């Protein structure tokens, strides 16, 4: 009889632990889904800025950049880029030309909207178009939104082609 009571107690404890694990995982999954939704919303929000000036570094915090980007670009270089010279220098960095292909699901990237965020700047009498394709993902451990791919296109354009919206 004592063995049976111990066996029932063990099953009850295991059932409570299992229910706790299931609840924890379901809440974690819901939180992760919320972070994925935030990534999608951020991509959609930036996708609306197809005619903005290329100062997109004002809309994406430095802390959102993945570790790979933060190794290549200093905080001061990223946040301090305001002038056309600084913006072209920043977005000419090799890391912004490394991944031409989308790396995430279609709703977590600015690529795939009708137009990508971008704009035109003038530098020494020459006009340049700077376009951006940005992929977002939640960080696996912190679940913060991270930029995992930022591909930048910089090309010379003629003044009569302004405004360039593609």
pLDDT, tens digit (0-9, with 9 covering 90-100), for 137-148: 887 777 788 888
Q: Is the pTM of this model over 0.75?
A: no
CA 119/CA 51 separation, integer angstroms = 6
Locate 100 and state its tokens: 């031409």
- pLDDT tens readout for residues 28-47: 555 566 666 777 777 766 76
Exposure string of 116-135, with b = 16+ CB inside 10 Å and e = fewer, is: bbbbbbeeeeebbbbbbbbb
Give Cα separations from 142 to 32, 69, 145 (angstroms): 10, 17, 9
Confidence grade of residue 83 (pLDDT, cut at 50, 70, 90): confident
């Amino acid at each position: 009889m004592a063995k049976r009571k111990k066996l029932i107690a063990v099953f009850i404890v295991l059932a409570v632990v299992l229910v706790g694990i299931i609840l924890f995982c379901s809440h974690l999954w819901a939180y992760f889904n919320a972070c994925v939704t935030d990534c999608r919303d951020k991509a959609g929000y930036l996708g609306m800025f197809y005619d903005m000036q290329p100062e997109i570094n004002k809309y994406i915090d430095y802390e959102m950049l993945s570790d790979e980007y933060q190794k290549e670009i200093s905080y001061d270089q990223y946040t301090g880029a305001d002038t056309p010279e600084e913006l072209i220098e920043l977005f000419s960095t090799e890391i912004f030309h490394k991944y031409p292909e989308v790396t995430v699901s279609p709703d977590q990237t600015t690529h795939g909207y009708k137009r990508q965020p971008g704009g035109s700047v003038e530098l020494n009498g020459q006009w340049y178009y700077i376009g951006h394709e940005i992929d977002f993902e939640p960080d696996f451990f912190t679940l913060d939104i991270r930029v995992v791919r930022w591909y930048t296109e910089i090309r010379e354009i003629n003044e009569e082609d302004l405004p360039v919206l593609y």
